[in-house]
Structures are given as structure tokens and as C-alpha cells.
Amino acid sequence: MSVHSKSSSAQSVAERAAELRDQLHHHAHRYYVLDDPELPDVEYDKLFEELQAIEAEHPDLLTTDSPTQRIIGKVLDGFTPVRHAVPMLSIRTETDTEASGAVAFDARVRRELELDESDPPIEYAAELKFDGLAINLRYEHGVLVQAATRGNGETGEDVTQNIRTIAQIPLRLRGAELAPPVIEVRGEVYIRRDDFDSLNERQRELIAKGAKNEKTFVNPRNAAAGAVRQLDPAIAAKRPLSFFAYGLGAVQDWTIPPTHSGLVDALQAMGMPVSVERAVVHGADGLVEFHRRVGAKRDDLPFDIDGVVYKVNDRALQQRLGFVSREPRWAVAHKYTAQEQMTRLLGIDIQVGRTGKLTPVAKLEPVFVGGTTVSNATLHNQDEIDRKDVRIGDTVIVRRAGDVIPEVVGVVADKRPPDTQAFSIVAKLQSKCPVCGSEITREEGEVDWRCSGGLFCAAQRKQAMLHFASRRAMDVEGLGDKLVDQLVDSGLIRTLPELYKLGVAKLVALERMAEKSAQNLVDGLERSKKTTLGRFLFALGIRHVGETTAKDLAKHFGSLDRILDASVEQLLEVNDVGPVVAQSIHTFFAQPHNREVVEQLRACGITWEEHDGTADNAPKPLAGKTFVLTGTLPTLSRDDAKDLIEAAGGKVSGSVSKKTHYVVAGAEAGSKLDKAQELGVVILDEEGLKALLPP
Ligand code: IVH
């Protein structure tokens, strides 16, 4: 089935409409009934919009069975059908992801209500558009009696057994004594991103142990839908489902609050989980601002959203606005740019990392996803390639969320061309490093293949040099990846100490190297010589020795010579150093060539202050305290603030939780500040932080 054949001249508009209907029925069945989509949602939406556009232009082509005219989905044999007392509607989607999408909705509402410019702005309830599946929860006299999926909107499926396993969903409402005879709560079942990751982790373990019928999931929405529609509730119970309430179904003898926001508050008071990310806003400006604010924190949310939802807040106005073909005129879903897209996998390159790790990288037909054009995406390792059965020539789903490296999350199985072959890193490389030709190896129990060439390998040399020069290591200004490529490729530099022997004269001989940049680099190198033992150790790039371990080693031993001579047992005495790390450090310094590099670097004039190893005596007023930094502080850089807090004995963490003691917030602080306020964590500005530090 060809999805992309757009209406050619040979194909009449009527034929195209019929083709689209068939395709949409097919994909809706895969998506809604089988929970096994062949297309990412955006592709489905594109087909849907194309059909809607044709029908709008040619009303005579509109058929009663068009997917645009009803909400699709058949009931599976295994579940009892449930006829909804009040149909479960869908909301119109605004796919203009810019502010203009919100402005257009407000304009439409005002037009329908026949308001003119002198009338005040409309009040809206703005919410998140959760990416899970809609559920109707029926409570009779405060007790959960039935949970049903949306199905086709008229009739869904009875999934009470499975829904009862969701701890977040109350089996009895708060204040049940006063609860009405009937109240139906509507909302979304979804899976948090961290839960999704652990779920897939568990699935991978099961598969590794030989479980036959297990698979990993492409995204949280899929996993949630699959879990809710599991025939065995014991399996559903193991799936980490969550729920947010956002609406109402049938009610008896209950006075519905006059606004939507009031309704959600009432649901919350009854014990239903509702999102904190909601607001009552006014007019188009309010909608635009909400869309922008949520968009800025989208990647920091613990779950996926694909947009926000605006609802006219006043229920009386909602009634005046009414419905068009099963969609309320008073609500709209305003989307964000998609984080997943489909594209073709043209090839697979293998990259060599700093520690020799070989990473397969997908070469893609360029595609716009998550706000940029992506043509490379990571495939992680051989196990991941096998698990997803990714083959060159496949149509793949690429995901790019926030600053995360784009990744291939899955393959669109029915679009596989004939004659593809399973991909093997070993076969492709013929067991040799693509950069230096050394043998590649994989240790028992490891997922990654590695080049065994060490610093003989130019790729590893380059990465090692970049790491050495990086900001939190030796902090050599002016040494970026282009220059490192040039230095290594020209043969000018083979070892780290040679960096310090570069003179301006040698540098200007390089292509495109001006005297000024050459001088800047030489100055940068000179400045980097005065450093700390922790930075120096981190810069060496010893496997498993990150910044914190390096600092701990420096603090514990106080001098480099004591570290060079430390036994594994002595290394194990260091804070947070376990057997793997201790062994790695020991092995590193046991290699004569590593010792030589260290000696040469010292001979170049790299210095730091040492102490006798009996720990530092600086006061530690912040011992045991955890800080989170957010936003831009007026004078301190983030690194400086971190160093100061750590020097005073405190810890700096990346996310706010109940265990956070202080959040230090600067300008343009984001969701971390909101979270801190929500949890009642103490919030400091730069001055407040300085006041806690020793003089
Ligand atoms: S309200 C009459 N609010 O989007 C309006 N729906 O096509 C009924 N959804 O089936 C839905 N977040 O699965 C509403 N804050 C939200 C939502 C939301 C996600 C889903 C829901 C619904 C679909 C609408």
C-alpha cells in the first residue's frame, strides 16, 4: 500500500478520496483496535487532513462512512461492549503550531458568539493534551463500578479489571457519602517517560531470557493502550499506568460547576489526579502565552504531550457554541511540532568514541523533527539494532525530543523493501576499527563493541584531546573539534603533551589558521597549565572516572603520586569508588605509556596544589544539603555556583524532588522553579546562596 501517492493527474479527486478513506480505515484499525500502528501519528494526521480538505472543497464526495464523519474503532471480541451514556467526543486539532493557531481559535469562538471588538476577552481553561488513551470512569454512589475505553465514541470496551489496577485511580471517591448516584469522570491513561524506560528495560530482560511473546514498545502511548486492553489483568497490573482527569460524562443529581476549571477543581477534590499544568487565561493573548510557556517546558515534563487544549471556560457559553459533527466548537487541541517523524534509512556508519566505543549511526533522508532537520540518528549498539530489526533501506521512526540526541525508535514493518539484510557491525567492519584498522572487541556482558587501538587510533586520540581540553577538564580555550581534526590529521599532534609544545609558528602553517587564533590557542594552553588535581585526573579520560570521582580521588589522596601508586584496596577507600572503578584506575596507571604521558604533562609545566591527603579542612556548612540550579544568575556562572556549593560540602542535582533542600533560581528559571514552589522547597537567589557559603 503506497501512502505517499498524492493525487496525480491520472487519478481523479474522487478516486483519491476513496483511497484515503481505505487507508485511514486500515490505519485506524491498526491504531485503535490492534494497538499496533504502522504509521506515526503525524502521518495519519496528514492523510486525515488531506481527506478533510477534499471533502470541504467537494461536499458531494462526502460519504457517511468517511473516517472524518465518525470516530473509528471496533470492539475486540475479548471485551464486553459498553454503550456510553453520553458519547465520548473528540476535539478538533489545530495543526498550525504557531501562535496564529491560538489566535484563529479565539477569533472563531468570538465569531460564533457574535461578539465584536468592544466585548471583553473570552475566558478559557487551558490544559495539556496528554498523549495516552481516553477512559470513562463510572462512579455510582462514589464507588468505581465501570471503566470503559472510548471505542467508536458511542460504544467502548469494558476494561474495569485493568483500570482497577491503576493505583492513581480511586476505587472510591473522597467524600463518597455525599457523592451523587452517578458521576462519570473522563480522562487520560498514560505512561510517564521514566516508567516507560524501565518498562522497556524489563521487556528487554525478558526477551534476553528467552521469553517468546514479549516485545518492547515504540512509545509510551502505545504501551499504555496495549496495557489497558490487555486481556489478562495480571499483566496490565505490571504496566506502570498513570491517569489525569479532564472532563465529565453522565451525571445524576449533581450540580455541575459553572466553569470547566471549577469542574476540574471539583474532580480533584474528589480524589482524582489532575495535572498541575493548567490555567485560566483570557483572550487570544492568554492562549498564546500558555502555548509558549508549556512549549518551553515540554521536554522537562515527566510525560509526553503533543499539544495543549483550550476550552471555553464558561459552561453556559459552551452550550451556546454547541457541536459540529461530533466535535465541540468550544474546544481545540493546539499542537506542537512533532517529536517523531518517519524517514528512510540510507545507510549505517560506525563512529569511534573517546574510549574506543563503536556507535552505529543511522544516515537518514533528512527530515524535520523536533524543530530541526535531522540526517543522523543514533542506533545505540548492536543489541538495539537486533531488537528493533533495523535494516538499511527501511522506513524508520526517528525521535528527537529537546536536546537529546536523535534516535531511531523503530521500523515501519510493512514498508520494508524486498531483499534487505539484517545489519551486523562486525560484518560491516570485518572486525576492524574503521579509523585505525585495529581489531574490534566486545567484553563479556558488555553491549558495546570497541576499537582495541587505544591512543594509536586517530579517532580516539581526537576524542581524548577534546575531552582533555573541555571546560570542566583542563579548560583550554580555543581548541574545538575542527582544530583537533586538523591537528591530528596533519600529524602535528600524536600525544596530549605535544599540545603544549605547539608554537604559534607551527600553528599558522595550518590551513585557515590566522596568527591571532594561533596566538589565542597558545595563550589558552598556557592559562590551562594552572589547574587542580581533580580537573587533571578528569582530563586524563580514565574509563569510569567522571568529574565527581576525579574530585573525590583528589580530595582523598591529595597528591598525584599517591594515586599513581595506590593499590586497588586503597582506591576502594575513596568515597563512591567500587571495584570496577578502582580496577579501571589501577589498570590505567599500571600502563607504562599512560605514566609517561602523565610525566610529560607535568614536565610541560602543568601544576596544581597538593595536600597531604588528610582531607581538606575547609569548613563544610552545606554538608548533606542538596541544591538544584535553574536559570541565569546575575554574576555566577552555573559551573562557578556548582564549584562553590561543592567546596562547602553540598551536592548539586539536576532535578527537583522532595529531597531537594534548596533551589537557586536566576533569570528565566523554568519548570524547576515551578516544581520547587509546588513542593515547598526553599528558593534562593544568588545573594541567598552566597549568604550560606563560608566567607
Ligand atoms: S477533552 C469534548 N482534554 O484528546 C472534549 N481531551 O480528540 C473531549 N486528550 O479523546 C476531550 N488531553 O484522549 C480533552 N486535556 C484534554 C485532553 C484530551 C488529551 C485526548 C483525549 C481525547 C482526544 C481528543
Q: Is ligand 1 within 6 A of the CB of residue 71?
A: no
**Percent of residues in the chain assigned helix, strand, coil, to nearest 5:** 40, 20, 40
In angstroms, the CA 666 to CA 627 distance is 14
Q: Which atom of ligand 1 is the closest one to the Cα of 90?
A: 7
Tens of pLDDT, residue by residue over 537-547, are: 999 999 899 99
Distance 90 CA to ligand 1 centre (A): 6
Report the side by side order of strands in the sheet with 143-149: 143-149, 133-140, 182-190, 242-252
Where are the CATH 3.40.50.10190 domain residues in the chain? 626-692
Whole-number Å distance between alpha carbons of 123 and 311:
9
**From the CB of 190, is ligand 1 less than 6 Å away?**
no
Across 85-175, the runs of DSSP E, i.e. the strands, are 92-94, 123-130, 133-140, 143-149, 155-157
- 570497541: which residue's cell? 450
Residue 64 pLDDT = 62
Atom 15, ligand 1: which residue's CA is nearest? 129
Question: How far apart are the CA of 502 and the centre of ligand 1, in A?
Answer: 63
Q: Which amino acid is at 537?
A: L
User: E strands within 317-394?
Assistant: 323-324, 327-328, 331-335, 340-352, 358-369, 372-378
> Does 617 have pLDDT greater than 70?
no
Q: Is the CB of 263 under 6 A from ligand 1?
A: no
The residue to which cell 491560538 is assigned: 102
Sole residue written with cell 499506568? 241
The residue whose CA has the least distance to atom 14 of ligand 1 is: 246
β-pair partners for 305 = 130
For 10-26, what is the mean pLDDT?
86
- Band the pLDDT of 500: cuts 50, 70, 90: very high
Please give the grid coordinates belonging to residue 264: 476540574
What positions carry a catalytic annotation? 129
Encoded amino acid at 294, one letter: V
**Ligand 1 in reach of 361 Cβ (< 6 A):** no
Kindly report the three-state secondary structure assignment for every residue of 490-501: CCCCCCHHHHCC
Query: How many contiguous H segments (helices) and E segments (strands) does the chain have?
Result: 26, 24
* Beta bridge pairs of residue 189: 133, 243
Kindly give the number of the ligand 1 atom that is closest to the alpha carbon of 88: 8
Which atom number of ligand 1 is nearest to the Cα of residue 150? 10
**Cα angle for residues 243, 48, 55 (degrees, 5° grid):** 135
Nearest CA to ligand 1 atom 21: 134
* Side chain identity, residue 490: S
The separation between CA 630 and the C-alpha centre of its own chain, rounded to angstroms, equals 19
Of 15-24, 213-222, 367-376, 657-666, which gets the smallest average pLDDT?
213-222
13-29 average pLDDT score? 85
Does 72 score more than 60 pLDDT? no
Q: Are 540 and 598 in contact (CB under 8 A)?
A: yes
Structure confidence at residue 376 (pLDDT): 96
319: exposed, middle or buried (Cβ count in 10 Å: 0-12, 13-18, 19+): exposed
Grid coordinates of 380: 545505540
Cβ of 152 less than 6 Å from ligand 1: no
Question: Which of 136-150, 209-223, 337-351, 523-537 has the least mean pLDDT?
Answer: 209-223
Which helix or strand (DSSP H or E) is residue 672 part of?
helix 671-679
Q: Please tell me the distance between residue 2's alpha carbon and the centre of ligand 1 in angstroms.
A: 30
In the reported structure, the alpha carbon of residue 69 is separated from the centroid of ligand 1 by a whole-number distance in angstroms of 18
CB 4 within 8 A of CB 50: no
Q: 125-140: per-residue pLDDT in tens?
A: 999 999 999 999 999 9
Which atom of ligand 1 is nearest the CA belonging to 129? 12
Cβ–ligand 1 contact at 331 (below 6 Å): yes
Q: Is the CB of 188 under 6 A from ligand 1?
A: yes
626-692 CATH pick, 1.10.1740.10, 3.40.50.10190, 3.40.1400.10, 3.40.50.300: 3.40.50.10190
In one-letter notation, the amino acid at residue 256 is I
pTM over 0.75: no
Mean pLDDT for the stretch of residues 590-619: 85
Band of pLDDT at residue 615, cut at 50, 70 and 90: low
- Which CATH code fits 340-429? 2.40.50.140
CA–CA separation, 664 vs 47, rounded Å? 47
Residue 90 CB less than 6 A away from ligand 1: yes
Distance CA(319)–CA(330), nearest Å, equals: 9
Give the model confidence (pLDDT) of 409-426 as tens digits.
899 888 999 999 999 999
Mean pLDDT of 272-287: 95
CB atoms within 10 A of CB 14: 12
Note the pLDDT of residue 74.
38
Contact 7, 382 (CB under 8 A): no
134 within ligand 1 shell (Cβ under 6 A) = yes
Average pLDDT over residues 357-368: 96
User: CA-to-CA distance for 240 and 236, rounded, in angstroms?
Assistant: 8
Query: In the chain, which segments carry CATH 3.30.470.30?
Result: 93-335
pLDDT given at position 385: 94
Residue carrying the nine cell digits 523554568 = 670
CA of 129 to the centre of ligand 1 (A): 7
**In sequence order, what are the residues at sequence separation of 6 or more whose Cβ sits closer than 8 angstroms to the Cβ of residue 350?**
358, 359, 360, 361, 425, 428, 429, 434
Output the pLDDT for position 216. 80
Report phi then psi at 374, rounded to 5.
Answer: -115, 130
User: Helix, strand, or coil here: 300?
Assistant: helix
**CA distance linking residue 343 with residue 369, whole number of Å:** 10
93-335: CATH class: alpha beta
Tell me which CATH code domain 454-617 carries: 1.10.150.20
Return residue ranges of the chain for CATH 1.10.287.610. 13-69
Residues carrying CATH 1.10.150.20, the chain: 454-617
Across 226-247, average pLDDT: 88
Cα–Cα dist 395/346, whole Å: 9
CATH topology of domain 13-69: Helix Hairpins (1.10.287)
DSSP string, 654-694: SS--TT--EEEE-BT--HHHHHHHHHT-EEE-HHHHHHHS-
Q: Which residues of 340-378 are buried (b: 16+ CB within 10 A; e: fewer)?
A: bbbbbbeebebebebbbbbbbbbebeebebbeeebeebb
